[in-house]
Structure 1
């Protein structure tokens, strides 16, 4: 069986790996010059199993209004003349209730927990290095109200068997010693002990090399013009340089750009790009640097240790497909690292980056079959592509190969959108 995978980010590459491991002949297409050069390039570095939740939650609309008036706000919305954007936003608002939140979270956790369980097996099989650590995530609360409000999250974590610890100020410092320097800036935290960290792009590059050794063919610099349909089936992928590339089955793992080629063939997914920012800076003193991931609850910014570097990521900007990195775009993430770890890294050497997260209005990615029997989907992971990559890649590959996946696909497919 010859399978064409569209997209060489972490989702596309993990899918290709499991397809090749299952005996398929695999071709991966990507417009970039190598793997992991778009959304996978410089994300937060969190493998957020404990923090797997939809953005659409009760109370979020009110919080979003407050965020818009913060000096260093975590959310920007540019009112574009875009029916797609406004429809997506209305669908998201429709999911901001208790019933939808629990349903969507349950679906997301199903993928996340599966990914958590299968990733160690992939690492053992391949031996790849990716600056990985297994020291959890510390959600840091600057106010007593944030600490109190986290009780609702604790109940949900307990419901889904996600291990956690509620920490006072001193216990937070025990987990992250460098926070002793700023102990007056927070009151406590919630530590998610099953979370891991790692460089997503380093992982994607290393796994792509393993895939190539297994016979996977990577065709870079191949911009996809369209998906060709003949007689009710996918007949090939039309590229700008190589022309039509054909296979027996096809997987779309194009993230935010998936709708651009899926909509014309009648596969209409509510996946919309939400822009995020990060900076990466060198560690200057290990004693004053983070050891794992700290999530600043106030600014919604994650600070993650990746080897001898620190990655700081956050901000949600709804601005269509803009990839512009403006001169002040990373001010918020730079403020947070300077505020919490002032002696940990060299902010003067911070490298800025921006990428588009493929978000669905309900938070759950779109996996598995489409209206065409030889086209499969693996997209819409939002901020959790790195977290869910191994699980969704393996589960979708099993479907493509005609195997029964190890997780239930109910509520994960495009069928939930009618």
Structure 2
């Protein structure tokens, strides 16, 4: 079976690896000259099963109204002139009920746990290195209402068997000693000891190299210009090189680009490009940096220790395909570093980046077949692509090759 995958980010490359392991002939196509050049390039570095949660949650519409008025609020919304933006926001709002939040989080958490287990098995099998650590996530709270929400989340984590514990203010520094130097008061935290960290781009590059050694074909700097379909069946793709490549199955793993690429076939995927930012800076003092990931719940910003760098990522802008760096958003990232880890990094040497996350309104990715025979999806992972990559790739490979999957695929169907 020949499978063509569109997209060479962490989702596309992970899909290729597991499909090749299932015995498929695999071709990966991407318009960029290298792998991991879009959302996988400089994300926050989290491998967080415990923090896998939809953005649509009870109280978010009211919070969003406040955030929009704050100078350093984590959210910005700017009209992009499309009906799709309005419809997507309406659907996200409709998912902000208690019932929808619990349903969507119950879909994300098992996939995230499964994915981290698959990543660990992959690492043992191949020895792949990606500046990885398995020292947990510490979600820190500055406000009493954040503690109340954490207790609700802790109950759900307990129900699903995910290791966690609530931490009072006096014990935060026992988990992350550098937070003893924080310039702002912290009221408590939620510790997720099973979470990990790593450089997503480095992982994707090295997994792609291993996959090529296993026989996959990687076609970079190559643009998809058309999809050949006959009698409701995918037959192949057309490329900008004037080539036609035939296939038995086509996997759309192109992140935000998945929606426009499939519109010609009558699909209207609910995947919107939500802009995020990151800073990467060299370490100044290894004692003053986090051991792993610290998530500032107030600003929705993650600070992650890589080997010799600090990665700071977060923010959300619902503004279409805008990729400009906004100095005010970068100032917010610097502000959080200064408040939590003031002596950690060389902030004058920070490298800034912005990327577009492929978000669904309910926060749950789209994985599996479509009503068009031979067309498969692995997209819409939002902020969780790095966390969900291996599990999503393995789930897709099992479904496509006819093997019973390790977990139910029903929550991820289009």
TM-score range, shorter chain: over 0.9
Q: Map 1:130-279; keep pairs closer than 5 Å.
A: 130-182=130-182, 184-279=184-279
Runs of 4+ in structure 1 deviating by more than 3 angstroms, as ranges, are 326-329
In structure 1, what is the equivalent of residue 113 of structure 2? Answer: 113
In structure 2, what is the equivalent of residue 369 of structure 1? Answer: 369
TM-score normalised by L of structure 1: 0.97
| Separation in structure 1 between the aligned mates of residue 223 and residue 334 of structure 2, nearest angstrom | 34
Q: Map 1:383-394; keep pairs closer than 5 Å.
A: 383-394=383-394
TM-score normalised by L of structure 2: 0.98
Asked whether 1:337 is paired with 2:337, we answer: yes
In structure 1, what is the equivalent of residue 399 of structure 2? Answer: 399
Q: Is the 8 A contact 1:300 1:314 kept in 2?
A: yes
In structure 1, what is the equivalent of residue 311 of structure 2? Answer: 311
1:184 CA drift (Å): 4.8
Q: Is the 8 A contact 1:273 1:321 kept in 2?
A: yes
Which deviates more from structure 2 when the two are superposed, residues 162-171 or residues 74-83?
162-171
Q: Map 1:35-46; keep pairs closer than 5 Å.
A: 35-46=35-46
In structure 2, what is the equivalent of residue 322 of structure 1? Answer: 322
Q: Is the 8 A contact 2:154 2:165 kept in 1?
A: no
1:148 CA drift (Å): 3.1
In structure 2, what is the equivalent of residue 66 of structure 1? Answer: 66
SS of equivalent residue, structure 1 residue 145: helix
1:183 CA drift (Å): 6.3
Q: Is the 8 A contact 1:58 1:98 kept in 2?
A: yes
Gaps of 5+ in 1: none
SS of equivalent residue, structure 1 residue 185: coil
1:172 CA drift (Å): 1.0
Q: Map 1:350-361; keep pairs closer than 5 Å.
A: 350-361=350-361
| Separation in structure 2 between the aligned mates of residue 337 and residue 74 of structure 1, nearest angstrom | 15
In structure 1, what is the equivalent of residue 54 of structure 2? Answer: 54
Which deviates more from structure 2 when the two are superposed, residues 390-399 or residues 325-334?
325-334
Write out per-residue CA displacement over residues 36-63 of structure 1, whole angstroms, 9 at most, x where no aligned residue.
1100000010011001111111111001
Count of aligned positions? 414
Which deviates more from structure 2 when the two are superposed, residues 251-260 or residues 320-329?
320-329
Q: Is the 8 A contact 2:52 2:384 kept in 1?
A: yes
The 1:27/1:332 distance shift into structure 2, 3 A limit, reads same
In structure 2, what is the equivalent of residue 21 of structure 1? Answer: 21
| Separation in structure 2 between the aligned mates of residue 205 and residue 16 of structure 1, nearest angstrom | 13
SS of equivalent residue, structure 2 residue 328: coil
| Separation in structure 2 between the aligned mates of residue 150 and residue 252 of structure 1, nearest angstrom | 36
Write out per-residue CA displacement over residues 352-403 of structure 1, whole angstroms, 9 at most, x where no aligned residue.
0011110101111001001122111000011001110000100101122222
In structure 2, what is the equivalent of residue 123 of structure 1? Answer: 123
| Separation in structure 2 between the aligned mates of residue 303 and residue 53 of structure 1, nearest angstrom | 18
In structure 1, what is the equivalent of residue 11 of structure 2? Answer: 11
Q: Is the 8 A contact 1:267 1:371 kept in 2?
A: no
Q: Is the 8 A contact 2:279 2:352 kept in 1?
A: yes
In structure 1, what is the equivalent of residue 296 of structure 2? Answer: 296
SS of equivalent residue, structure 1 residue 353: strand
Q: Is the 8 A contact 2:72 2:329 kept in 1?
A: no
Write out per-residue CA displacement over residues 64-87 of structure 1, whole angstroms, 9 at most, x where no aligned residue.
111111121100000222100000
